[in-house]
Chains A and B, each alone.
Chain A
Amino acid sequence: MRGVRRTAAAAIALGVIAALVSSGTALAQSPTESPQEKVVFDVGVDSDITGLNPFNLCCGPDYEYLELVYDLAIGFSREDLSPAPRIVTEWTPSEDSMTWTMKVRDDATFHDGTPLTAEDVAFTFTLISKYKMPFYKDYFPFDPTFEVLDPTTVVWKSTEPTFAPEIPAYAPVLPKHIWGRFDTVEGTPSADEAKEVRKAVKEFENNPPIGSGPFRFEEWKKGQFLRFSFNDDWWGGDSKTIDEVVIRVYDSDEAMVQALRSGEIDFAEGVSPPLFNTLKNDPNITTHIADGGCWGNIAYNFGGQGETATNHPAIKDLRVRQAIAHAVNKQEIVDRVYQGTAVVGDSILMPGKNGFWYTDIPTELEYPYDPAKANQILDDAGYLDTDGDGVREMPGGGEPLNFEVMTITDVEGSVDTGRLLKGYLQEIGIGVKFITVNTNKAYDLWYTGEWDIYVWDWCPDPDPDFMLSVFTTDQCLGWSDGCYSNPEYDKLYEAQQRALDRNERKAIIDQMQLMIAEQLPVMVLNYWSDLQAYRSEWTGFRPSPNVENGLLLFGYTTVDTYLELTFASEQAPGTGASPGLPAWVWIAVAGGVVVVIGGAIAARRRRVEDEA
């Protein structure tokens, strides 16, 4: 009797496993050979987007998302990042530069099928400037108004002469039929009314986002991936190969690099230097060092933050800053801290990102590495080591030159650069006491001025205005590093804002860059790189701007590159599925577990019966 039961149980168990296996293999057909023919381009990034609302953008891949889904009014040329037609195809100033006439293209439509017209462009500009939307509002100075003449013409009316309209506003053209509900105030809004609108706009979820860009938004799995499909109706042309772009988020750089090696992703954005160097030898992978758009620096504290400031008096002496500049070996920092992936920098504007505006600083203002000269300058200025402890004192004795150097643990290279800096300063008789903190704490100390020197970074916009503003007196307790103040520089800053001719403005900006290089409120150490790597079967990348270290993707208007990519390989590119064991293995494992547990239970029952 018992034997029969056991046999029956075993037969049923086997039957269940067999059924599972057969149905599983039939259903699953493992993800690797799925029938879809879609060509998916997988991009790995190191952080998720902030949100889908363009008014909540911040950093990382936010802007890639923005440009995939939305069109800018005026874009950036991939040749040199100069203004280039996008939704707005022409912009012409009046004689007095107070009125600009903009032509809007007539062949653009939003992803929901609604045509994009001059109404949408005027609406977007109005929403931003009328309610002073943070970040974007600076593109629309002097309280302009926007008038729609006909479906393809917008007139930008400024209250003062301006060149602002031809600086590409890095703002998406929004569909009026979706965002129009937020423009609730007739005429000029009061401060409180504007505040209410700003709050409402920022709280809008915007899911799904409707833009007019080259890709339609498909889905966002938070913390995992974003999926976009090519927009067949895009005014700018067809995609050669790619049907979908997927942006995958990897919290760990190592995992992202391994995913690139295994072909799970096709492109890795923002690889760290040590891992990047290991990818160089992989025959399946092409590496590319691009201009990262940020520069590393040491900045000085001039005081002015109030009673909390603890700045050292010697910092204000230009000769001390010059001596430090001569003592620092910028090339060594690049080689040792950034493992050769950054380049030595000289100006607060960058040769790649700021292209036209960048000034190559003459050698004598770069204060080349020369510790002997640095010591000489300090000796001549009267900073002598009177007590023989290896640290100089203020002229005439007194406070020793011990500087508090703030380094920031989560800013790449900051701590290591600080260590080298300590060595350089010791060479010239300056002592260093480190304050090593994370970014959060660094912001606190920055505003209270409790530091002498810090090692941090800046990332300028393509238009130089913001970067230049950082060194003006007004920015003390705003974005100024250490409340540097120079009335002459302030005047130049205002003059460049009012210069209407590009070359005239450039001449002023040249002067400003030289002034900063000479006066050293900051010392530009290096231009960082954005390390990119991709599977070698993909071709069609071209750097933007079109220089050796232009960005392949994740740059200004580089989204067009997705449309130009093709793959030269017998192996079909990824279909979006990840590698893994086929379904039958999992079913076998599950079956095995059932058998083991079932066996154990049966054995136990048998024993219980034996004992009974």
Chain B
Amino acid sequence: MGSQRYLVRKVLHAIATLLFVVAFNFYLFRIMPGDPITILARSQHLSRADIAEQIANLGLDKPLPQQLLIYLGDTFRGELGVDLRSGAPVSQLIAERLWPTILLVGISTVLSIGFGLLIGIKGAWQRGGLFDTTSLYTSLVFYSMPEGWLGMILIVLFAGLLGWFPAGQYESPADLTGFAHIVDVLNHLFLPCLTLTLGYIGEYAIVMRSSLLEVRGEDFITTARAKGVPDRDVRRRHAVPNALLPTLTLVFYSFGFVLGGAVVIESVFSWPGVGRLTYEAIGELNYPILQGVFLLSSVTVILFNLAADILYGYLDPRIREG
């Protein structure tokens, strides 16, 4: 009974958040200074009349509340509008960018979580040891580096100087198919993926480490040791499962952000993902694209949070009760 109410409450909460985000996004982008048509118009030498016509064509001349209603209606019908610059449907533009983003951000999230947790667990268990200090400091150094800068250093080193990997983009402009295409994409993927992975290992390592250290001091661990459980099994069976709970939130949170892309790294590596689409759209105030991307990433973040909440309640009954 209690758990059902918990579930319903969480779902309703998620829906309310989503509605708020949709309406908020609409105003958020319109508060930004400038208007998109003038930005395009200067390079085309458009006259004031031409500009007015363009604005009317795109429905940007209507009062804001009316624009909001149209936008909400379109959104619920699943229409995300058209790119102000080229007139292409936004849903199509986002769909084209989705796969590269999933590949890059997804893989690097998995890798950084994997390595991060391992480092955190091993470090916490041998706290203060050589492994702990070196791995912790190394991963924190990478974590605190501006990721764009790290990416550029890797480009200069591995692309410019050594010529081992491409300096950017997703694939070669050559007719490669099948296996050769996969290898080509992997080669392009390597540097941006390495940058993101290095950049985020620290985040997971430190959360895992501190949470495990906390658990390590608890009574049930002492009890287990007193029972004569081998050290390895104390860690594996008793400590880690309990310490994983806070990390789980972070993991779900990170996966929620995958579809939003990695704005900086995708731009540094000219990776044709959602993050770069956002970056370009901000520069030209391309409202429909920005709205579409934010809608997509809001939905995924909210869904993953919901999933985390539900799972959390399942794993830790205390939460359900509260």
A binds B: yes
Interface residues of A, Cβ cutoff 8 Å to B: 23-24, 27-31, 34, 36, 40, 42, 48, 50-51, 53, 56-59, 134-135, 138, 195, 198-199, 202-203, 205, 221-225, 227, 246, 248-252, 254-259, 261-264, 410, 437-444, 447, 459, 466, 477-479, 575-583, 586
Kindly provide the distance from the CB of B61 to the nearest chain A CB, expressed in whole angstroms: 14
Residue count of chain B within 8 Å CB distance of chain A: 65
**Cα distance A198–B50 in the bound complex, in angstroms:** 10
Contact B87 A202 (CB under 8 A): yes
- With A36-B175, A478-B47 known, 6 other A-B pairs at CB within 8 A are A58-B85, A227-B173, A248-B173, A438-B34, A441-B33, A466-B45
Contact B184 A443 (CB under 8 A): no
26 contacts between A and B (CB under 8 A): A27-B180, A51-B86, A56-B86, A134-B47, A135-B44, A221-B170, A223-B276, A248-B169, A248-B270, A250-B168, A251-B266, A252-B269, A255-B152, A255-B168, A255-B268, A259-B159, A440-B34, A440-B39, A478-B47, A478-B48, A577-B176, A580-B183, A580-B184, A580-B190, A581-B186, A582-B183
Residue in A42, A56, A252, A477 with the greatest tally of chain B CB atoms within 10 Å: A252
Given contacts A134-B44, A252-B267, A444-B34, contact A581 B169 (CB under 8 A): no
Closest to A604 in B: B236
Contact B152 A254 (CB under 8 A): yes
**Cα distance A305–B304 in the bound complex, in angstroms:** 51
**Cα distance A422–B170 in the bound complex, in angstroms:** 45
Contact B35 A443 (CB under 8 A): yes
Contact B96 A222 (CB under 8 A): yes
**8 Å CB contact of A255 from B48, B87, B173, B269:** B269
Residues of A within 8 A of B38 (CB): 443, 447
Residues of B within 8 A of A42 (CB): 173
- Decide yes or no whether B315 CB sits under 8 A from chain A: no
Kindly provide the distance from the CB of B74 to the nearest chain A CB, expressed in whole angstroms: 17
A-facing mask of B66-108, CB < 8 A → 1, else 0? 0000000000000000000111100001001100000000000
**Cα distance A126–B171 in the bound complex, in angstroms:** 42
Contact B45 A258 (CB under 8 A): no
Kindly provide the distance from the CB of A112 to the nearest chain B CB, expressed in whole angstroms: 21
Contact B164 A251 (CB under 8 A): no
Kindly provide the distance from the CB of A459 to the nearest chain B CB, expressed in whole angstroms: 8
Contact A58 B167 (CB under 8 A): no
Closest to B47 in A: A478
**8 Å CB contact of B168 from A259, A441, A442:** A259
Kindly provide the distance from the CB of B236 to the nearest chain A CB, expressed in whole angstroms: 9
Kindly provide the distance from the CB of B185 to the nearest chain A CB, expressed in whole angstroms: 9
Interface residues of B, Cβ cutoff 8 Å to A: 32-35, 38-40, 42-48, 50, 53, 57, 85-88, 93, 96-97, 152, 155-156, 159-161, 163-176, 178-180, 183-184, 186-188, 190, 266-270, 272, 276-277, 279-280, 283, 285
B interface majority secondary structure: helix
**Cα distance A29–B269 in the bound complex, in angstroms:** 26
**8 Å CB contact of B169 from A24, A224, A479:** A224
Contact A262 B159 (CB under 8 A): yes
A-B pairs, top 6 by smallest CB distance, nearest first, are: A440-B34, A580-B187, A258-B160, A441-B33, A223-B272, A578-B166
Residues of B within 8 A of A459 (CB): 43
Kindly provide the distance from the CB of A295 to the nearest chain B CB, expressed in whole angstroms: 15
Given contacts A198-B53, A578-B184, contact A251 B270 (CB under 8 A): yes
Closest to A249 in B: B270
Contact A222 B272 (CB under 8 A): yes
Kindly provide the distance from the CB of B307 to the nearest chain A CB, expressed in whole angstroms: 25
Residue in B48, B270, B279 with the greatest tally of chain A CB atoms within 10 Å: B270
Closest to A134 in B: B50
Kindly provide the distance from the CB of A447 to the nearest chain B CB, expressed in whole angstroms: 8
**Cα distance A252–B161 in the bound complex, in angstroms:** 17
Contact B270 A439 (CB under 8 A): no
Kindly provide the distance from the CB of A492 to the nearest chain B CB, expressed in whole angstroms: 20
**8 Å CB contact of A581 from B39, B43, B164, B170:** B164
**8 Å CB contact of A444 from B33, B45, B152:** B33
Kindly provide the distance from the CB of B249 to the nearest chain A CB, expressed in whole angstroms: 26
Closest to B32 in A: A440
Residues of A within 8 A of B160 (CB): 257-259, 261-262
Residue in A40, A56, A262, A444 with the greatest tally of chain B CB atoms within 10 Å: A262
